[in-house]
Amino acid sequence: MPISRLLPPSPVHAWTRMLRRVVWLGAAGMKDVSAQRKILQTNVGALLGVAFVLIFMMAYLASGRPGVQQAAWMIAPGLGLFPLTLWLNHRRRHRLARHALLTVATALMLGLLFVQGTLISSHHYFLIFVLLGPLIFEYRHWRCMLAWTVLELALYAAASYGFFMPQPDFAADLTPELRHRLTALVDASMISGLFCVMVASEAASARNETTQQRLAETDTLTGAPNRRAFEAALDDRLALLRQPDPAGRLHGMALMLLDIDHFKRINDELGHDQGDVILRDVVQVLQQQVRRGDTLARIGGEEFALLLGHVSAREALASAQRLCDSVRGHPFRTRSGLRPVTISIGLVYFEAPLAPQDLYSLADQALYEAKHSGRDRVACARAPLGEADSLVI
């Protein structure tokens, strides 16, 4: 067992995992990646709201001036109201969660303006809320987005033209130095808030792109890599053959084409649904025999491909024979009882790069030979001399 598993989990890692769960509340299982990103940005906005309320409360209370401290109690309800957004997203009330976020943020800012006016430029937050609308609302909710944009701009204009006047005791207790510090805190919080939302958006986009790429390279029936993923892995391996291995490992590689014997008969006798079950079971059996770093993919109906790296010719042949034995010895269960299943394998071993189409052709010829020699066996191909240092097994 790795030593890392014996050590207690790091508090940093625990907090990171918890934070990741919170920011993705309500997004699990959604297929619309754009909606997922909007939910993430809404949750991040709620967490930032809680953080900024705490920061400003501490700043107001630390001033030691009663007139300034009253602003802290004006925004204190935000500590309980911003988490409402997270709860609504968790309950899949996504649209309501977005309205809740902007409503709480706008209400708290109005409360602050009635206490401190525009002395520390906090009304500039209304411009941040204008930008927040397009970040959290989906395009199909453009009317909601437009309504919030108009409201926030109207409030900003009203504040800029002196509609909100500070309370006399707040203005009296606000020294020039304290005003400067609070104004700097407002500016820093706005910039950092935008930065966090942008980072969250980029992180969501990167995650969605990774997910989409993984789905595009995965066979939906068996969960194994598909032909596209296999060809990319083959190209990468062939490129490595042109470079010396720094670890001094074997440079030989092997390509196998594997085909389930009499699979059409299985479909005809048991039905295509049971054929699909056998396909998934075969993949699971094969994956148990494949080393980490090797690539097993489904490239056709009942045809699979396996790419082995850093192997000798004998190791490649032994691996192919183990695959045949493991499938032959596995009890495949169907509606009509146990069903014997076997595979045939065409193998080509090479130590210098060949064109992918040539490798496929050689492996396919070997698979044809295995099929016509009785099935449930391995046949090996020889690469053309002068093009690759292939070994006859």
Active site (catalytic) residues:
302
Distance CA 13, CA 16 (A): 5
Q: Tally Cβ neighbours within 10 Å of residue 303.
A: 17
Q: Which residue has the tokens 């042109």?
A: 242
Q: Which helix (H) or strand (E) covers residue 12, if one does?
A: helix 11-23
CA 25 to chain centre: 15
Whole-angstrom CA distances from 253 to 318, 359, 393 are: 14, 11, 13
Provide the sign of the torsion angle of the four alpha carbons 368, 263, 344, 280, taken in this order: positive
Non-local (6+) Cβ contacts of 115 within 8 A are 70, 71, 74, 166, 167, 170
Report DSSP state, residue 298. Answer: E
Q: 2 exposed, middle or buried (CB, 10 Å; 0-12, 13-18, 19+)?
A: exposed
Work out the angle between the directed axes of helices 33-62 and 78-90 (0-180°, nearest 10): 170
**DSSP-assigned beta bridge partners for residue 381:** 348
Three-state helix/strand/coil letters over 51-106: HHHHHHHHHHHHCCCHHHHHHHHHHCCHHHHHHHHHHHHHCCCHHHHHHHHHHHHH
Residues β-bridged to residue 332: 339
In angstroms, the Cα distances linking 390 to 2, 289, 386, 393 are 39, 24, 9, 9
What is the DSSP secondary structure assignment for residue 323, as one 8-state letter?
H
381 neighbors 366 (Cβ within 8 angstroms): yes
Q: Token digits for 86?
A: 């997270």
